[in-house]
Amino acid sequence: MRNTAKALVVMSIMTLIGCGFGDNGELVGVQGRRPWFHPQPYGTVYIPTGSFHTGQSDEDIFHTYIAPNKQISVHAVWMDDTEITNNEYRQFVEYVKDSLLRREMEFTIEVEDEHDDYEILDYEEEADRDEFYDEHGDRYFYSGKERYDHRKQWDIRKLKYTYTYVDMQAAARQSYLESNRADFLVTKTRAIYPDTLVWIRDFTYSYNEPMARHYFNHPKYDDYPVVGINWHQANAFCNWRTRWLNRYWESQDLPITENWRLPTEFEWEFAARGGRDNNMYPWGGPYTRNSKGCLLANFKPNRGDYMSDGGLYPVRADSYFPNDYGLYNMAGNVAEWTISAYDESSHQFTHDLNSDYQYDAEDDGPLTLKRKVTRGGSWKDVAYFIQNGSRSYEYQDTSKSYVGFRCVQTYIGRSANDSR
């Protein structure tokens, strides 16, 4: 009854406003705002808000004590149902190439407003890559002694992506009334091409040159998880993906969405458990084989045995059965970067609400501060490392043939099941 009366008051006030009589002195909020529901991004699944017990579900056989049990709660996210694939990452690489081309060929649009005049790249005008090569080939393509077989090949050292973001943690430590936002704007420039030589560098006395030559570039591997990506490159990809999506929303005169980012290690673990608690593996049971004796993930089941699970190296990102949330390869295939910094005791000092520990180490900082949590284990790891609660790390500026990533986007609202 009260809601009906309130609705009638709002309707009458809106009628008065339309007739020029004002709001009649009532508190009704800003009118005319369109309702908005968070659409499901393509290729993602919904991970609901929930509580769970983080930490190892089996004996700590290495006696590391780095993942004690603790109950925490995490907010809902949209999460990629597979690891980011080679072809998906290639879209990012092609965007960077295209941006270089348009900037050099002066395909720009001048934008004028009352506060600032600036230029943006014009993506509507058709660009001729042959013309670009003729005019700027010496700058952006291998030339001279670096070129062979008369091939036109991009100099991958020139493929860099620059982005700016607000350091929210630094801003929160100061009063907004006394601070200048420019003090918290951080600009990064990152090389973005995958390090394909990881296939050789990671394994001594091992012949993996074909993987170095073809894994990222050959169409046969388009739907396989991208590797050779360091933590910085994964973050750059997330920033580009956010800008790419927001550019579309703005063109439709719609509110921009929440940023794409790497998951926290606790969001990742909650998603891997698939709505269960204290389960050892994403499929729920304590065993790595099903009732038919088939292995349920891509890992190293025995000494010197990489093939019993069907994959010598990484396999397609949608291989094996998904967990109860619809996520593929949360155990094995490739380990996955998280946004979280690695500390042996972080489970003990992080908050129990959206637990997380982050530290953005300088490029020349101590190695200990550069450690970032990886989760899920990989195709080269034994079963212990593909358990839901197992933690490991890699250094933020290193890339590996067994580490990839997937993205998340925080859900805006309480639950995707709400009608409003």
pLDDT in tens, 225-260: 999 999 999 999 999 999 999 989 888 888 888 999
> Which DSSP category does 150 fall into?
T
Stronger pLDDT, 130 or 9, i.e. the higher one: 130
**Residue 118: predicted pLDDT:** 67
Residue 132: count of CB within 10 angstroms of its CB: 19
Backbone angles phi, psi at 283, to 5 degrees: -80, -5
Burial letters 8-22, b for 16+ CB under 10 A, else e = eeeeebeeeeeeeee
C-beta atoms surrounding 287 within 10 Å:
12
Architecture category of domain 44-85+192-410 in CATH: Alpha-Beta Complex (3.90)
Q: What pLDDT digit, counting tens, does each position of 6-64 carry? A: 444 444 444 444 445 557 888 988 888 888 888 999 999 999 999 999 987 766 666 66
Domain residue spans of the chain: 1-33, 44-85+192-410
Residue recorded with tokens 């003090």: 183
- pLDDT one-digit tens code per residue, 353-404: 999 999 889 888 899 999 999 999 999 999 999 999 999 999 999 999 999 9
- 270-298: pLDDT as tens digits: 999 999 998 999 999 899 999 999 999 99
Which pLDDT score, from 0 to 100, does residue 66 have?
75
Report how far residue 381's alpha carbon sits from residue 333's, in angstroms, rounded to the nearest whole number: 9
Is residue 150 a contact partner of residue 121, using CB atoms and an 8 Å limit? no
- Tell me the pLDDT band of 114, cut-offs 50, 70 and 90: low
- How confident is the prediction for the chain on average, in pLDDT? 88
17, 84, 90, 214, 333 from 210: Cα distances, Å: 71, 22, 19, 6, 19
> pTM above 0.75?
yes
In terms of pLDDT, which residue wins out, 214 or 251? 214
> Does residue 102 surpass a pLDDT of 80?
yes
- Which sign, positive or negative, has the C-alpha torsion 300, 303, 306, 310? negative
Looking at residue 252, its pLDDT comes to 86
Higher-confidence residue: 22 or 209? 209
Higher-pLDDT residue of 131 and 60 is 131
Q: Is there a contact between 397 and 370 (Cβ–Cβ < 8 Å)?
A: yes
pLDDT, residue 298, reads 97
